[in-house]
Structure 1
């Protein structure tokens, strides 16, 4: 059990935290034909959009209520109404996710009441509206994402517990913010191999997987979970819940639909994947596919090959709570030691991170902890690049955002294949570091010098 302590600094020096509104935007982007709208200033949405574009390298649909100095003081209720009317009239989305910011929350805006009043004034409107309270000064990416998922369930899933199991092959999947598009694709294939039909909420693997389109410009999300799918969640046989952050959303879904659920804190590594595969085998009664057995043996072989490098190796990890727990558990499974663990905000799962203590802080705290613990490898997002340079350590990029490398959404972390690839990546980084410190080869002073192709100085002068 890790001791969770808060950094006693009066300010953040090198930020690790990603704000709640950005987490809510990420969740809304996993819904087909949706548009997120931030209730705040234009700068709030512009700053968020820059990070999304740099991470996914795709056009990102995002709108704002454009609060200014006057509306911040006198009230910005009309901005919400006008924003909804304009978006619906010009873009005709299937859903609008309305998330608040620190500005609108400090101003005292009642976003739930405003959206409810708009729906009462427009009873024939077919566009689904989902308001979410996500101030910047509380939580982080993970909590904002979870609040958006909970809000979608509350506003889009009908209360009916009488239809459980009507779709015997359907399984609902509440997917957390730590899963990449490749992770979701792998999970979908895994569930389908047991004869199940997954409905993933939200499905970023379909909307932000980097596919090309025939149209030059589309003002809404293309791909993702259809809004109509929310009405069918109550007919599933089970709900698969991944990540502790989505437990409140899972409780709400279970209360509304009566569908029982299976909950997993992580899907990284051999033990966690074994638990999922065993649960699916017991649920469906079908044998484990031979393809999965082969993938499992490949992961075991990778464990054998890499344990010489990873055993007793020292890692420093900074990430959102669930990703921090998952990565730390994977490292500990291989006998590695987490000497520095930093999270941007508090969560119950942090106490279960396999290390001595978890610091609630920033990347400066990570740097100090890593230096004190003589870490060999850093694992964090792209913001930790300068930290790794100062420490002279390799950086494994994980989490959000990753803006200085391509293919973040196509990187697989979970399951047998993801575990194999991650272990190989970690081992290769440690091998590269160890080779730097090898004794250089001795060259005898009597050895014949290598021929050179130097041009005589006189020839250079004469041309």
Structure 2
């Protein structure tokens, strides 16, 4: 069991974590025809918007209540009212989802009360769903904001409907923020191959998958619909991917009595064996032949790659669920987790295969990697300078990933995703030992000094 430590530095140096409001806004983007709103200043929203745009290279719908000095002190009721009415008039969304920021949380705005007053004042808003989640950015991290947002959506929109009948093949697939659009698409395909009908929440695989729509919309284009939200209670089971989604699964159970199961990770051979065995049990259908072949291909890839993974010390910095997923899989491949740094507390940290896990920043990750003599660094794109200073291979994982194309299409779950990770990271490790070319290759300094002493001085006889 790993020892969990919290960095005691007075300030974060090169932060690893991102804020709760950003995680919540990202979750809202997985809802169809939704307009996420940050209740705070324009700067709060602008920084989050830029980060998401750089990561996905897509237009991101994200609005703000544009709080200023006066409204921050007197309260943001008027700002929220104006934002809601303007968004409804111009964008015509099905859902307006609001998350708080540190600015408005410090003031103590009661946004739920504001929304009730706004509905009473404007009955014409009846055709627009409203949701709110409290996400102060001075506590928690990205994963916490995502988890709180999904739970808030379930409690606001997933009310049980009178006369709702259980649908024998329908399941709820609750996706954590560590899953990319490609990961969610892969999981949907797997679930559907067993004859099951999944409701994915949130579904960023259809809203942030990098497609060109036939018609422009100022809201999110794709994602979980309001009708699907209202049908959550008709499912036979909720499958939560990542410990962060446990609270959301429990919320569905409280509202509608739907049982749930949590899979802490879906990267690795045994993890996917358990997942497919569970789907076989729930559906009553045998595991499709193509997954048996994919499993065999993964085994072969593991055999091919273990020569390069074995004994490599790895330094990883990521959100808790992603940290567990990658570190446990790397340990299965024969690596040693020499340094593990994360952003927030979580029950899964006890299961990380490392001597200790530090809740800290990228400086802690770099220093830990140096102490451990790590041969591989794994974190998001802000870790690239540390990898350069350490002179070790660097694998980008998580969000943001702004210096590579196709961030939303990175696949790391299922047999196929795990096999792809073996090839991607294995090639990094393989190339690290053969990086020199005749153009940049140099002899060690000691060898050059010895050759200099042995070279005759001009005028001497050889």
- TM-score range normalised by the length of the shorter chain: over 0.9
Task: Provide the residue aligned with 2:242 in structure 1.
Answer: 243
1:436: Cα distance to partner? 3.7
Q: CA RMSD in A?
A: 1.7
Task: Provide the residue aligned with 1:114 in structure 2.
Answer: 114
**SS of corresponding position for 1:405:** coil
Task: Provide the residue aligned with 1:270 in structure 2.
Answer: 269
* Structure 2: gaps spanning 5 or more residues: 444-462
**SS of corresponding position for 1:335:** coil
Whole-Å separation in 1 of the counterparts to 2:433 and 2:163: 61
Give per-residue Cα distances to partners, 1:10-50, cap 9 Å, x unaligned: 10111111100000010000111000011000111111110
Q: Which runs of 4+ in 1 moved over 6 A?
A: 437-442
- Preserved CA contact (<8 Å) 1:173 1:200: yes
**SS of corresponding position for 1:4:** strand
- Preserved CA contact (<8 Å) 1:161 1:258: no
1:334: Cα distance to partner? 1.1
Task: Provide the residue aligned with 1:149 in structure 2.
Answer: 150
Summarize the alignment of residues 128-167 of structure 1 with structure 2, pairs less than 5 Å apart.
128-159=129-160, 163=164, 166-167=166-167
Whole-Å separation in 2 of the counterparts to 1:317 and 1:333: 15
Summarize the alignment of residues 224-239 of structure 1 with structure 2, pairs less than 5 Å apart.
224-239=223-238
Q: What is the count of residue pairs matched by the alignment?
A: 440
Summarize the alignment of residues 127-206 of structure 1 with structure 2, pairs less than 5 Å apart.
127-159=128-160, 163=164, 166-206=166-206
Task: Provide the residue aligned with 1:415 in structure 2.
Answer: 414
- Preserved CA contact (<8 Å) 2:315 2:377: yes
Whole-Å separation in 2 of the counterparts to 1:18 and 1:409: 18
Task: Provide the residue aligned with 1:65 in structure 2.
Answer: 65
1:378: Cα distance to partner? 0.6
Whole-Å separation in 1 of the counterparts to 2:334 and 2:163: 48
Give per-residue Cα distances to partners, 1:249-275, cap 9 Å, x unaligned: 111111111111121011111111110
Give per-residue Cα distances to partners, 1:330-380, cap 9 Å, x unaligned: 011112110010001211211111110000100000000000000001110
User: Is 1:12 the counterpart of 2:12 in the alignment?
Assistant: yes
**SS of corresponding position for 1:421:** helix
**SS of corresponding position for 1:206:** coil
- Preserved CA contact (<8 Å) 1:161 1:259: no
1:117: Cα distance to partner? 2.2
1:70: Cα distance to partner? 1.3
Whole-Å separation in 1 of the counterparts to 2:156 and 2:189: 29
**SS of corresponding position for 1:316:** strand
Whole-Å separation in 1 of the counterparts to 2:388 and 2:170: 48
Whole-Å separation in 1 of the counterparts to 2:70 and 2:279: 56
Whole-Å separation in 2 of the counterparts to 1:170 and 1:429: 41
Whole-Å separation in 2 of the counterparts to 1:117 and 1:267: 44
Summarize the alignment of residues 68-83 of structure 1 with structure 2, pairs less than 5 Å apart.
68-83=68-83
1:161: Cα distance to partner? 9.2
1:417: Cα distance to partner? 0.3
**SS of corresponding position for 1:205:** coil
Give per-residue Cα distances to partners, 1:104-160, cap 9 Å, x unaligned: 111111112212222333345111101000011111110000011000000001136
- Preserved CA contact (<8 Å) 1:39 1:66: yes
Task: Provide the residue aligned with 2:447 in structure 1.
Answer: none
**SS of corresponding position for 2:70:** helix
User: Is 1:35 the counterpart of 2:35 in the alignment?
Assistant: yes
**TM-score normalised to structure 1 length:** 0.92
Give per-residue Cα distances to partners, 1:176-221, cap 9 Å, x unaligned: 0000111011101100110001110010000011101233x42101
Whole-Å separation in 2 of the counterparts to 1:219 and 1:69: 29
Whole-Å separation in 2 of the counterparts to 1:77 and 1:163: 36
- Preserved CA contact (<8 Å) 1:161 1:257: no
Task: Provide the residue aligned with 1:212 in structure 2.
Answer: 212
**TM-score normalised to structure 2 length:** 0.93
User: Is 1:374 the counterpart of 2:387 in the alignment?
Assistant: no
Task: Provide the residue aligned with 1:445 in structure 2.
Answer: none
Whole-Å separation in 1 of the counterparts to 2:301 and 2:237: 33
Whole-Å separation in 1 of the counterparts to 2:307 and 2:437: 17
Give per-residue Cα distances to partners, 1:388-408, cap 9 Å, x unaligned: 111111111110111010101
1:169: Cα distance to partner? 1.1
Task: Provide the residue aligned with 1:360 in structure 2.
Answer: 359
Task: Provide the residue aligned with 2:449 in structure 1.
Answer: none
User: Is 1:284 the counterpart of 2:280 in the alignment?
Assistant: no
1:73: Cα distance to partner? 1.9
Whole-Å separation in 1 of the counterparts to 2:177 and 2:149: 11
- Preserved CA contact (<8 Å) 1:242 1:263: yes
* Structure 1: gaps spanning 5 or more residues: 443-463
User: Is 1:48 the counterpart of 2:48 in the alignment?
Assistant: yes
